[in-house]
C-alpha cells in the first residue's frame, strides 16, 4: 500500500470521531470490549474480533479464559452472518463479524437445520484453512519451512470457533446442537474448505439441493454449484463468494456438504464490508470482488 | 537417477527371469492381471496396482469397470498391509500392495475394530493427499497453476479405495462394514493425512490408546504419538512411517483419530519394499528410511 | 467465471463485427497473422501473441521458424509498451502487446539507455518468472510435482524474448544492442522479477535514480521504490504495476536494477487493457487494479 | 526425531570430551570463536558458522561488525570446500565449513579461474536460495504468508558470502578478484541455484567443458551435466551433489554457468559430514545420499 495516498494512522485516543459513521475494529481477541465501550454513541461498529460473537457471556468466559468486559454492549451485538441476520444488521449499532470457520460451516448448514432436513446430533465438520487464518505474528509454527509441503490437524476437539457454530445452529433449530469439528492447516495463503457429513431426516438429496437453492436464490455471494462439481478454494480466491455443493453418499440416508470461501474475504474483511454496506444502506456488493483471481 | 549406474531397461517379453527372485509390478490398473499371469512360477511378485487388492472379483468388476482377467491368481493373492498380514505375506507368491488411502486409514482403525472398541456403523474418514497421489501423467488438473495455493475435494462418495478399506475392516470385524470416505487434494508433493471420526463402544479414550499401543508395540514403522500431539505429514516425509494419534471429542463417547504417512513410501513403494523384505526373509527395515526429511 | 453472466462464445467465422470497436487477440504464436489480416478495417486490435512484435520480419522468421504471413500489417503494428509508445498507440490500428520478460526488463532500462547513462555492451538480465508464464497446456514439465519446491533455469542463451528486448533498446539507443538474458522458473503462480547488471557511463547512482524518477513521474503504474527497499513480486500481485529499484554495487561504476511485475497483468492482459484504454481514449487506469493482493 | 533413540543433550560446560574425536559446531556467527578456543586439543572440529571462514581477520571484522576473538585459531583453520582443499582438510584440526552460496558458486568457477580460461574482472553471480537458508528463527519475513507465491531479491550489493567467494577465487588466481553477487529468495524449502555470467579468455565453450570434466572426473558429488541440460534444484534435493552445466551465449566470447546444490546438504551439514569423513579417514560418501528425493 506504500504507493496509495492514505491518511496517516492516528493513535486511538487522538481520533476525532466527528463525521465518522462507522468503524471497523480489528484488534486482538480480548482487547476489543474495552475499546468499543468507549466509542461515541453515534459511531456504528463492525468488530472483526471474537469479542462479541458469543451472546452467552459465560460461554465466552469459558472459551476465552476471562470474564466478558462489556456485558451491556454484548446484549445489543448482532452476529454478522449477513445472509442470516440481514434485517437486524441493518439497524444494528454493533455487529460481531463471524469467524472464518463458522461462516464457511454455517452457510451450508443453516438452511438444512432450519428446514429440519438433517439430523442435528450427527454433524461432523472437517475444516481446512490456508495459513493466513493464523495471522501475521512471528511464530515458528507459521514459518514457510514448517508449513510448506506439509499438512496437519490442530486444535482437535477444542477449537474456539466451535461454540460460535453451535450457537447459531442452536438458535435456528431452537434446541441445543453440538457438532464435531476439526480444523486443519493447508500449505496455501488463503482459502477455506469445509467437508460436512450429515444424515438425512427422511428426505432425499434433491430436497437438500432445493432447500439450498431456495435459501440462496436472491443472494449475491452464496451459490449452490451444479450437480457433481467439486468446490475448490481456487474458485473463490480473492472474492466474497461462498460456493456450496452437496453429494450423495453410497450409504443410504447420508450426504456430504462441501463449502469454500476465501478466509480473508467472506471469512473476514469481505464480510465486514458486506455488513457495512447493509448497515449504511449501500448496495451489498459495493467494493467486493465476485470474480476469483485464478491463478 | 541419470548419474547412477543402472542396468538398461528391457522390454517385458525379452526379460530373462533366470536368477530373478521377485519383481515389483508397477503397471496401470487393469493391465497387470494379464502380465502377472504370464510370469514364471518361481518369480514372486509385489504388485503396486489395484489389480489384485479386492478378493471379490465381482466387487473388482463393479469399481474398475471390467471383468477380472486372472481370477485364479486372485485367489492366492495376499493383501499386503504388512502389519496386518505379515505371516501370510512371508510365504505368498503374489502380494497386492495396498493403496495409499487404505494404508493410512486401516492402520489406526484395524486394532480398534478387532478389539470391538468402536461402532462399525459410524465411521467417517476424511482423507487428504499430496499431489503425487495423482501420478505423473500430463493432465491439466495436475498443473502447478491449477493446484498451487488451493485445496479441493474430489471423488466425493465414490473413490475406488473405498471397497479396499471396507474389505479389510469387514474381514477383521467378521461382518460387513461400510465407511464414509472423502478424499481431498493438498497443494504439496507428498504426504497423506486421515482424520477419522469414531464412536466409542462403551470404552474410554485410554482404552483406545492402549489398544493402539499394544497393536504396534513391536512394529518398526507404526507409532502412536504422545498424548495431545497433532500428527503432521512433515513428520513422516520420505519415511516408511505411519504416525497415529487419538483425541477425545467434547461430545462424550466420540473420538477423533489422525494418521499420517508419506503416500509414496508407506503408501506405495516403501510398503512394497517392506513386503519384499518379509517375503525374502530380510530385515524388515532394510533400505527404508525412518528419519523424516524435514524440511 | 461460471457464475458471471457472459455472452456465448462464437466461432471466429461467425462473428458479427458490426459495433465492435476493438478486439483482443489471444491466439498461439504463428496463428495470429492470418486471422488479423482478415478482420474488417474498422476493428482495432490488441494482439497478445508474439506475431507482430518484431518489426524486422527476417528476425521474426529466424526466431519463430517460419516466414511472416502478414508483412504489410507488420509495417503498421505498434509495439505496445504503453509508457514508451503511448502517442503512437493512441492512433494505432494494430498494437503488438509486449512479452512479459521484455516489459519487465525494458521499463527499468529504457530511460537509462535513452539518457546514455549506462554502457550498452555490458547488460546482463537475469529474469525469473512464475509458472503461469508457461501457459495452461498439459505438459509434464508444468505439473505441480515437477515444479513445486524447486527452481530451474531454462532456454539459457536462446529465449524468444531476447530479440524483442534488443529491438526496443536498439531503437532507443539508435545503435545495435545485444543483451545477455537468462530466464528461470519460480515455483509460484504469478510474478516476474528481473535482476539487471549494468555499468555506469561516467555517472552516479543518483543520476540513475533521477533518470528513473523523471521518466516515470507522471505514470500510473511504474514506480521507483524508496532507496534500499528490495522489490518483491508479492508487492505487485494482481496489479498492473511495475516496481523498480536500483542498487549500488561494491565495485565502483557498477549498479544493479531490480524490477517486478505480475506477468499476467502488466506482463500480458493488464497491459493489453491499458493499451485499449489509450486507443479508445479512456482513462488509462480503467479496470486495472493498483493495490496488490497480498497475501 | 522424536522416535529415534538419541542420547540426551548436555550443556556445553558439562560435556565429557574423553573418547570424542570430532565435534560439529553449529552455533550462531560470532559465538563460535570463544567456544572452540576452549575445546581440548585432541578434539577436531568442523565449524558450520562463518567464524573461521575468512582468514583475513580484518575482512572478518569489516563484514561481521566486531573483532575476531580467536586470531590464533584462525591461522590453522582450513576452508572446508572439500574438493578444493581435501589434502589440508585431512590433517586439519579446525575446518571452517563453507557457506552455501560460496559452495554453489565456487565449484563451477574454481577450475576455470585456475586454468585461466575466464576473465576475472567480469564475473556476475546471480544466486537463488530456498527459505531454509534463512534459518528457523521466528521472523515475520520468513512466515509462509510472506514468502509463498512470491520471489524477491535481498542483500543486493552487500551479502556476507561475497568476501568468502572472493577469498577463494583470489587464492586460486593469485590476484585480487571481486565479483558481482545478488542473492534471491525462492518460495521453496531447500535448494540453491547460481547463474554465473562469464567472459571467455580466448578459449571455446568446449575448453570450459573439458576443464570442468577434468576437475571433477574423480569426484563423488560434483558432476558436469550433459550438454544442453538445464540444472534444476529438484535434481539434487536431499543429496550432497552439486550439478553444473555451461551454456554458450549468443554473444561471442560469453558463457553462462549454472550450478545447483541442496543448501542444507552440500551447502551445510552434508559438506560437514563429507569433511568429517575426510578428516577421520572414512569413505567420503559415508552417510551421504546421492539419489535425489524427487518429488
Q: Does D88 touch chain C (CB under 8 A)?
A: no
Q: Does B290 touch chain D (CB under 8 A)?
A: yes
Counting residues of chain D whose pLDDT is more than 70, the rounded percentage is: 99
CA torsion sign for D141, D147, D150, D152 is positive
- The nearest CA of chain D is from the CA of C203 a distance in Å of 18
DSSP string for residues in chain C? -TTS-PPPP--GGG---TT--EEEE-PPTTTHHHHHHTS-TT-EEEE-SSTTT-S-HHHHHHHHSS--S-HHHHHH-EE--HHHHHHHHHH-SEEEPPPHHHHHHHHHHHHHHHTT-B-SS--EEEEEE-GGGG-S---GGGBHHHHTT--EE-STT--THHHHHHHHHHHHHTS----EEEEEE-SSSS-EEEEEEEEBSS--HHHHHHHHHHHHTT-SSEEEPPTTPPPBGGGGTTSS-EEEEEEE-SSTTEEEEEEEE-TTIIIIIHHHHHHHHHHTT--TTTT---S----
Query: What letter does residue B232 receive in the DSSP assignment?
Result: B
Cross-chain Cβ contact C148/B131 below 8 Å: yes
Q: What is the mean pLDDT of chain D?
A: 96
pLDDT band at B25 (very low <50, low <70, confident <90, very high): very high
> Tell me: the pLDDT tens digits for A180-201?
999 999 999 999 999 999 999 9
Q: Report pLDDT for D2.
A: 65
Task: Using the predicted structure, report yes or no on whether residue A158 has a pLDDT greater than 90.
Answer: no
Cross-chain Cβ contact B230/A152 below 8 Å: yes
Q: Report pLDDT for D3.
A: 66
The candidate with the shortest Cα–Cα distance to A126, out of B257, B100, B245, B118, is B257
pLDDT band at D5 (very low <50, low <70, confident <90, very high): confident
Rg of the Cα trace of chain D? 19
Task: Using the predicted structure, report yes or no on whether residue A227 has a pLDDT greater than 90.
Answer: yes
C4 CB neighbour count, 10 Å cutoff: 7
What CA–CA distance (Å, rounded) separates A25 from A36?
8
Determine if the peptide bond prior to A252 is cis (ω within 30°): no
Chain C CB contacts of D197 under 8 Å are 124, 126, 180, 197
pLDDT band at B6 (very low <50, low <70, confident <90, very high): confident
Counting residues of chain A whose pLDDT is more than 70, the rounded percentage is: 99
Task: Using the predicted structure, report yes or no on whether residue A127 has a pLDDT greater than 70.
Answer: yes
Count how many Cα atoms sit within 13 Å of the Cα of residue C239 in the half-sphere of its side chain.
Answer: 23
Chain D CB contacts of A137 under 8 Å are 140
Among chain C residues, the shortest Cα distance to D189 is held by: C149
Q: Taking CB atoms and an 8 Å cut-off, how many pairs form between chains A and C? A: 30
Among chain D residues, the shortest Cα distance to A146 is held by: D144
> Tell me: the pLDDT tens digits for D229-260?
999 999 999 999 999 999 999 999 999 999 99
Q: Does A189 touch chain C (CB under 8 A)?
A: yes
Residue B266: phi and psi, rounded to 5, are: -60, -25
Q: Report pLDDT for D212.
A: 98
Q: Report pLDDT for D141.
A: 95
Q: Does C225 touch chain D (CB under 8 A)?
A: no
Among chain A residues, the shortest Cα distance to C221 is held by: A3
Highest mean pLDDT, choosing among A104-108, C11-15, D3-7: A104-108
> Tell me: the pLDDT tens digits for A259-288?
999 999 999 999 999 999 999 999 999 999
> Tell me: the pLDDT tens digits for B164-210?
999 999 999 999 999 999 999 999 999 999 999 999 999 999 999 99
Task: Using the predicted structure, report yes or no on whether residue C4 has a pLDDT greater than 80.
Answer: no
Q: Report pLDDT for C7.
A: 87
Cross-chain Cβ contact B131/C140 below 8 Å: no
Q: Does C210 touch chain D (CB under 8 A)?
A: no
* Range with the poorest average pLDDT among A290-294, B262-266, C197-201: A290-294
Q: Report pLDDT for A3.
A: 66
Cross-chain Cβ contact D4/B290 below 8 Å: yes
What CA–CA distance (Å, rounded) separates B292 from B294?
6
Give the mean pLDDT of A4-27: 92
> Tell me: the pLDDT tens digits for B90-138?
999 999 999 999 999 999 999 999 999 999 998 999 999 999 999 999 9
Q: Does A149 touch chain C (CB under 8 A)?
A: yes
Q: What is the mean pLDDT of chain C?
A: 96
Q: Report pLDDT for A5.
A: 78
Active site residues of B: 100
Q: Report pLDDT for B7.
A: 87
Among chain B residues, the shortest Cα distance to D262 is held by: B295
- The nearest CA of chain B is from the CA of D25 a distance in Å of 20
Plot region of D264 (φ>0 → left; ψ -120 to 50 → alpha; else → beta): alpha
Give the mean pLDDT of C98-123: 97
Residue B47: phi and psi, rounded to 5, are: -100, 120
- The nearest CA of chain D is from the CA of B212 a distance in Å of 16
Task: Using the predicted structure, report yes or no on whether residue B4 has a pLDDT greater than 80.
Answer: no
Task: Using the predicted structure, report yes or no on whether residue D4 has a pLDDT greater than 80.
Answer: no
Q: What is the mean pLDDT of chain A?
A: 96
**Which of C130, C144, C156 to probe by mutation at the D interface, max D CB count within 10 Å?**
C156
* Residue D259 and residue D244 in contact, taking contact as beta carbons nearer than 8 Å: yes
Chain D CB contacts of B151 under 8 Å are none
pLDDT band at A6 (very low <50, low <70, confident <90, very high): confident
DSSP string for residues in D248-293? E-SSTTEEEEEEEE-TTIIIIIHHHHHHHHHHTT--TTTT---S--
Q: Which of D188, D193, D295 sits opposite C153 (nearest CB)?
A: D193
Is D42 strand, coil or helix? coil
> Tell me: the pLDDT tens digits for D113-146?
999 999 999 899 999 999 999 999 999 999 999 9
Task: Using the predicted structure, report yes or no on whether residue A219 has a pLDDT greater than 80.
Answer: yes
Task: Using the predicted structure, report yes or no on whether residue C150 has a pLDDT greater than 90.
Answer: yes
> Tell me: the pLDDT tens digits for B243-294?
999 999 999 999 999 999 999 999 999 999 999 999 999 999 999 988 999 9
Q: Report pLDDT for D51.
A: 96
pLDDT band at C61 (very low <50, low <70, confident <90, very high): very high
Q: What is the mean pLDDT of chain B?
A: 96
Cross-chain Cβ contact D149/C191 below 8 Å: yes
CA triple D83-D112-D107, angle to 5 deg: 35
Q: What is the pTM of this model?
A: 0.97
Counting residues of chain A whose pLDDT is more than 90, the rounded percentage is: 94
Amino acid at each position: 500500500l506504500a504507493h496509495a495516498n492514505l491518511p496517516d494512522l492516528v493513535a486511538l485516543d487522538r481520533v476525532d470521531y466527528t463525521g465518522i459513521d462507522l468503524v471497523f475494529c480489528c484488534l486482538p481477541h480480548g482487547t476489543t470490549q474495552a475499546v468499543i465501550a468507549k466509542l461515541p454513541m453515534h459511531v456504528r461498529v463492525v468488530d472483526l474480533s471474537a469479542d462479541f460473537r458469543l451472546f452467552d457471556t459465560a460461554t465466552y468466559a469459558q472459551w476465552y479464559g476471562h470474564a466478558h468486559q462489556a456485558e451491556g454492549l454484548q446484549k445489543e451485538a448482532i452476529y454478522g452472518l449477513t445472509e442470516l441476520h440481514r434485517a437486524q444488521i441493518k439497524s444494528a449499532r454493533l455487529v460481531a463479524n463471524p469467524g472464518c470457520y463458522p461462516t464457511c460451516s454455517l452457510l451450508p448448514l443453516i438452511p438444512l437445520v432450519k428446514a429440519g432436513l438433517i439430523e442435528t446430533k450427527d454433524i461432523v465438520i472437517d475444516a481446512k484453512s490456508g495459513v493466513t487464518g493464523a495471522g501475521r505474528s512471528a511464530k515458528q509454527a507459521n514459518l514457510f519451512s514448517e508449513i510448506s509441503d506439509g499438512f496437519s490437524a490442530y486444535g482437535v476437539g477444542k477449537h474456539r470457533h466451535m461454540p460460535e457454530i453451535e450457537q447459531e445452529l442452536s438458535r435456528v433449530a431452537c434446541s441445543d446442537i453440538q457438532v464435531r469439528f476439526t480444523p486443519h492447516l493447508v500449505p496455501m495463503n488463503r482459502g477455506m474448505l469445509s467437508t460436512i457429513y450429515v444424515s438425512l431426516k427422511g428426505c432425499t438429496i434433491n430436497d437438500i439441493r432445493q432447500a439450498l437453492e431456495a435459501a440462496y436464490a436472491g443472494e449475491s455471494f452464496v451459490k449452490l454449484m451444479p450437480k457433481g462439481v467439486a468446490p475448490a478454494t481456487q474458485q473463490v480466491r480473492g472474492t466474497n463468494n461462498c460456493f456450496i455443493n452437496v453429494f450423495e453418499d453410497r450409504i443410504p440416508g447420508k450426504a456430504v456438504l462441501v463449502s469454500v470461501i476465501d478466509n480473508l474475504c467472506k471469512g473476514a474483511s469481505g464480510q465486514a464490508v458486506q455488513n457495512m454496506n447493509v448497515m449504511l444502506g449501500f448496495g451489498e456488493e459495493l467494493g467486493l470482488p465476485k470474480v476469483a483471481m485464478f491463478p
